[in-house]
Structure 1
Amino acid sequence: MSQQRILWADDEIDLLKPHILFLTKKGYEVTPVLSGLDAIEKCEEEEFDIIFLDENMPGMTGLEALEQIKRIKPSIPVVMITKSEEEYIMEDAIGAKIADYLIKPINPKQILLSVKKLLDKQKLVDEKTNSAYQQDFQSIMMSFMNDMDWEDWVETYKKIVYWDLEINETENKSMSEVFEMQKNEANHNFCRFIKDNYADWMDEPDERPILSHELLAEKVFPFVKENDKPVFFILIDNLRYDQWKVIEPLVSDLFTVKEDVYCPILPTTTAYARNAIFSGLMPSEIEATYPEWWVNDNDDESKNNYEEELLGEQLLRHRINGKYSYNKIIRTSQGKQVNDQINSLMHKKFNAVVYNFVDMLSHARTDTNMVRELAPDEAAYRSITKSWFEHSSLYEMLRLLSEKDCKVYITTDHGTVRTRKPYKIVGDRETNTNLRYKQGKNLSYNKKNVLAIKHPEDFGLPKTEVSTSFVFAMEDYFFAYPNNYNYYVSYYKDTFQHGGISIDEMIIPFIELDRK
């Protein structure tokens, strides 16, 4: 690796020789100049890794030189050094995007610390991250050997997402392969946990996590009943926990954040899980109680046309009689219309808002090569989600709500998993098309790595035919038919899907926001 080069501009540079000698002994090449103008000329002629700039130089001040240096080399880090502690100088320097700010008298170790912070930060962070993950790796692997309950899995998954985000920030990503292996192991064990326990959860409400149909009654309605504040319940379709973590800092700037998670019902799809949220009922109960509002898998009609009506019925059952609103946001213009109505929504007791962007993104990534290139993996998928959020009407809505006296909840109906392994299944013409679960008669498949439900009614699922059964893909498998198998696999492999059993689909965020 070549020597890192430092340009140091100070009209009293001769007094700084001990500092320069100290940096030289540490392996840095230092070029001293006597003025801001000299510093600008050197920047035009040569390449430097960092610049130290005295603020109070005769002729051209450090701030004036800084402005021109940033035009020539906008990415180079500049450290402003000054005798003055005047606040306006510090503010001007920070506003001009300096990298650090030091006040004279300075000592060599201060300078070295600033250099390391700016030039070696990534290397030091990488080393610390990799070392810390290696220490945590063993404890995570040991946890898989225990008899883990839901809360244990939540804590383990949060650790896995944390390390996913941290390792992704490292430069060489040397631990990525090890992490990927560990996440796959976690997903495998979590799926076994769901397979072993989901049926029992249906019979033992007190022994299970909160499920989709219980979410509003358990987590939201108690506040609605006990307070006069308007409530905004915001559901972002298809939002994974790791996607929430990348937008969390933006939300935390606006609100005090309380984070929780819950578990969606099977199938982990909009048609089942989201209808369960808004109705407060399991799918079989929706079909029995409101047959005109339940749409089966193979019906052409949209599966979520009656969420507003189902929500209204649930509010009545819980004796919540105030005015409520429901808005589904698919286009930006719809989001802007809702934001224009915020003041009138403040007079309603309960406001539900569904944002469909993340779901649309996952479908677009499957169907459009360009989107797949933009989001080739989980890290890029998170990045696009964050970019959308920063420029979305949802972020603007949260900014508006942060200034008002209201309660806000953010959640989702299910997550998604990146599917990589095909799984052959055979069904008749009536079998549904979802890649992560199949509903139909006479389904033929290998029983390994799936959860088969022969009696859907025991799991709160509608039974369209006497012999109807459900089969759920686990881990990162997706169902493929033997006909046109190779085409089918190449088209859907490495896409983000939902409907089955995986840690990314089934541990999902529920966020409570309060005004700061």
Structure 2
Amino acid sequence: MTTIKILWVDDEVDLLKPHIIFLEQKGYEVSTRVSGTEALEAIETELYDIVLLDENMPGLTGLETLHEIKEKQANLPVIMITKSEEEYIMEEAIGSKIADYLIKPVNPNQILLSLKKNLDHSRLVNAKTTSDYQREFRKIAMDMSMINTYEEWTQLYQKLLYWELELENVDDSGMFEILSAQKTEANHQFCKFIDKNYPSWFEDKNEDAPLLSHQLFKNLVAPLLKNKEQVLLVVVDNLRYDQFKVFENIINTHYKKIQEETYCSILPTATQYARNAIFSGLMPADMEKRHPEYWLNDTEEGGKNMHENDFLEAQLKRLGLSIKHQYHKITNENSGRKLEESFKTQKDNDLTVIVYNFVDMLSHSKTEMEVIKELASTDKSYRSLAVSWFKNSPLLEMIQRGQELGMKLVLTTDHGTINVTTPSKVIGDKNTSLNLRYKTGRSLSYEDKDVLAATDPATIKLPKINMSSSFIFAKGDLFFAYPNNYNHYVSYYRNTYQHGGVSMEEMLIPFAVFTPR
């Protein structure tokens, strides 16, 4: 193991001899200098891992020395040590990106803790995170075998996501593979749970049913409006729960979260069904019945999500909400910029709705563009790509504008998405729907073990294209492939993000309310 080299700069360095001996006994190599000028000369000729810097020195002050060090070696960590507790010195030092700030007199263990925190942090965190997950692994496996309610599934899924986010920075691919296998098994059990329980959720007065897409607006958004809150409702299409969690860290700069729920996307977990259900407050079969002028089935020509605002207006009327609202659908960067630039025009709205299609476009473009496919080859890289976009997006700027106008922020999505890896053969006629994760049509032929089948769509409130139509939904990370040109098709779509089927990633959906900071 390479010896860690410390440069300690203090005009009274002779008084620090006991501290230096203590650190050398711990295996550190300590060099000393008595002025800022000597320190700057030292870092020109020697490579140091960290600098301990006194603030109050003759000649160059500690702060002046700090600025010079950062100009020469921006990534060299500096721990400032000072007798002064003046706030402006702390702020100046912190603003210059110091590694730590210690007040004299310091004892050797304080120095040691700061060194470990800055130099050994990654290794210590990796070891702790790995050992913690190893302990949790057995508990998760036991919990999984006993889960029989939707609430328990949401808790387990969030626990798995917590460990996924914790382990993604740990340099131990073996641990991540174990977690991936555990997620796969969890999805296998979750599909069994959905297969057994989903139809019963549409029975009258089923107290075990979770909140579903068509109930979301009435149950969680409408109460805010009835309470005379100004609401900015952002629906980021195709947003996974893990992406939501890291988006939340960015939003927290401007908003404070006051409520978080997990609702369940209806099947199919596809925009045409799930998002229309949110805005209409109706299940697809009821949308077709009540609003035939707006609803289109899979095989009919035309855009399937062209009437979300019409559906929303009809729902507001049913709920007795006479409010001023505007609806915006953002499908490209230019339309996002235009809305952001004119956002002040939304200030008098009771409800401003923004449907943002970026994550959906990204997941679909992944199948079309090799560069995107490379950049988003795993959940971790897909998450990172989405976060990078969000930080620089018009959407984040709109959220900032909403905060400035005092709007409550509601952030959610219509369904998630899953990285598909395993093909499942399906055969249907020319009128069978095209989605890779669900199919609807007549005389479908498929592998029973791979699908959740609804031979009578009416039982789960879905419309029938014709009298003998049925729906099938792919389980886990499966995707449907036709026998014709099978190998090319499988190669093209394997390891792409798709939605429409049954998985925790697609069905367990975040909903959060934030209040302006």
Aligned to 2:308: 307
Superposed displacement of residue 341, structure 1: 4.2
1:279 aligns with 2:280: yes
Once the two structures are superposed, the pairs formed by residues 184-199 of structure 1 within 5 Å of their partners are 184-199=184-199
- What pairs up with 1:162-181 in 2 under 5 angstroms? 162-181=162-181
Contact 2:83-2:103 within 8 A present in 1 as well: yes
1:401 matched residue in structure 2: 402
Aligned to 1:105: 105
> 2:318 aligns to what?
317
1:222 matched to 2:204? The reply is: no
- CA distance in 2: counterparts of 1:38 and 1:372, whole angstroms: 51
| 1:295-322 Cα shifts (integer Å, max 9, x gaps) | 2212342211111111111111111122
Residue 432 of structure 1 pairs with residue 433 of structure 2: yes
Q: Is 1:461 paired with 2:458?
A: no
Q: Is the 8 A contact 1:79 1:102 kept in 2?
A: yes
- The DSSP-based 3-state class of the residue aligned with 2:41 is helix
Deviations 1:459-501 (A, max 9, x none): 1111112221111100110111111111111111111110000
CA drift of 1:53 comes to 1.4
What TM-score, normalized by structure 2, do the two folds share?
A: 0.96
Contact residue 441 and residue 467 of structure 1 kept, 8 A: yes
CA distance in 2, matches of 1:345, 1:89: 43
1:413 counterpart = 2:398: no
After TM superposition, the structure 1 = structure 2 runs for residues 277-426 of structure 1, keeping only pairs within 5 Å, are: 277-426=278-427
Q: Is the 8 A contact 1:211 1:264 kept in 2?
A: yes
In the alignment, is the contact (CA less than 8 A) between 1:236 and 1:358 conserved in 2?
yes
Matched residue SS, 1:302: coil
Q: How far does residue 283 in structure 1 lie from its aligned partner after superposition?
A: 0.9
Instruction: Indicate if the aligned counterparts of 1:167 and 1:173 stay in contact, CA closer than 8 A.
Output: no
Report deviation, 1:104.
Answer: 1.7
Write the distance in 2 (CA, Å) between the matches of 1:228 and 1:245. 28
- 1:335 Cα offset (Å): 2.5
Amino acid at match of 1:331: N
**SS of the residue aligned with 1:16?**
helix
CA contact under 8 A between 2:267 and 2:501: conserved in structure 1? yes
Counterpart secondary structure, 1:281: coil
Shift of residue 383, structure 1, vs aligned partner: 1.2
1:181 deviation in Å?
1.3
Q: Is the 8 A contact 1:7 1:30 kept in 2?
A: yes
**Which residue in 2 is equivalent to 1:91?**
91
Do the aligned residues in 2 keep the contact of 1:297 with 1:432 (CA within 8 Å)? yes
User: 2:148 corresponds to which residue?
Assistant: 148
Structure 2: distance between partners of 1:190 and 1:326: 35
Distance 1:326 1:311 in 2: 9
* Alpha-carbon offset, residue 123 of structure 1: 1.2
2:63 corresponding residue in structure 1 = 63
The range that moved more, 161-170 or 348-357, is 348-357
- Is 1:46 matched with 2:74? no
Measure, in 2, the Cα distance between the counterparts of 1:104 and 1:16.
12
SS in structure 2 opposite 1:79? strand
What's the secondary structure of 2:110's corresponding residue?
Answer: helix
> 1:435·1:497 contact (CA, 8 Å) conserved in 2?
yes
> What's the counterpart of residue 449 of structure 2?
448
1:122-154: CA deviations, max 9, x gaps?
A: 111112111211222111111122142000001
Distance in 2, matches of 1:407 and 1:18, equals 57
Structure 1 distance, partners of 2:3, 2:26, is 10
Aligned match of 2:233: 233
Deviation at 1:339, TM superposition (A): 3.2
- 1:360-386 deviation line (CA, Å, top 9, x unaligned): 110111211111111221111111111
SS of the residue corresponding to residue 69 of structure 2 reads: helix
CA contact (8 A) 1:259 1:509 kept: yes
Q: Which moved more, 1:154-163 or 1:199-208?
A: 199-208
| Identity value in percent | 50
Deviates more, 1:213-222 or 1:8-17: 8-17
What residue number does 1:32 align with? Answer: 32
Contact 2:147 2:153 in 1 (8 A): no
C-alpha separation between the residues in 2 aligned to 1:50 and 1:65?
Answer: 14
Does the CA contact (< 8 Å) of 1:5 and 1:28 recur in 2? yes
Instruction: State how far apart, in whole Å, the 1-side matches of 2:4 and 2:485 are.
Output: 57
Q: Deviations over 1:50-86 (max 9, x none)?
A: 1111222222222222222212221111111122222
- CA distance in structure 2 between the partners assigned to 1:222 and 1:78 by the alignment: 51
Does the 8 A contact of 1:9 with 1:32 survive in 2? yes
Residue of structure 2 equivalent to 1:480? 481
Alpha-carbon RMSD: 1.5
Higher mean C-alpha displacement, 47-56 vs 190-199: 47-56
Aligned counterpart, 1:505: 506
- C-alpha offsets along residues 68-113 of structure 1, whole Å, 9 cap, x if unaligned? 2212221111111122222222221111111111122221111111
CA deviation string 1:24-74 (max 9, x = no partner): 110111122222222222222222111111222222222222222212221
SS at match of 1:512: strand
1:332, distance to aligned residue in structure 2 (A): 2.9
Q: CA deviation at 1:340?
A: 4.0
Letter in 1 for 2:3: Q
Cα distance in 2 for partners of 1:435, 1:446 equals 15
- 298 and 151 in structure 1: CA distance in 2 versus 1, 3 angstrom threshold: same
2: CA distance, partners of 1:147 / 1:506 = 17
Q: Where does 1:108-119 land on structure 2 (aligned, <5 Å)?
A: 108-119=108-119
For 2:476, give the aligned amino acid. E
- Which residues of structure 2 form unaligned runs of 5+? none
Query: Could you give the per-residue CA deviations for residues 340-360 of structure 1, whole angstroms, max 9, x where no partner exists?
Result: 444432322222110111101
Cα distance, 1:174 vs structure 2: 4.2
Look up the equivalent residue of 2:198 and give its one-letter code.
Answer: Y
Offset from partner CA, 1:407-435 (integer Å, 9 cap, x none) = 32111000001111111111111111111
Aligned residue pairs total: 515
Residues 157, 503 of structure 1: 8 Å contact kept:
yes
Provide the TM-score with structure 1 as the length reference.
Answer: 0.97
Unmatched 5+ stretches in structure 1: none
Task: Check the 8 A contact 1:13/1:33 in 2, yes or no.
Answer: yes
- Contact 1:190–1:502 under 8 Å retained in 2: yes
Q: d(CA) in 1 for partners of 2:212 and 2:510? A: 12
Q: CA deviation at 1:333?
A: 3.0
Name the CA distance, whole Å, in 1 between partners of 2:68 and 2:33: 16
SS of the aligned residue for 2:432 comes to: coil
- Conserved 8 A contact 1:278-1:310: yes
Cα contact 2:438–2:473 (8 A) shared by 1: yes
- Cα separation, 2, equivalents of 1:38 and 1:147: 65
SS at match of 1:206: coil
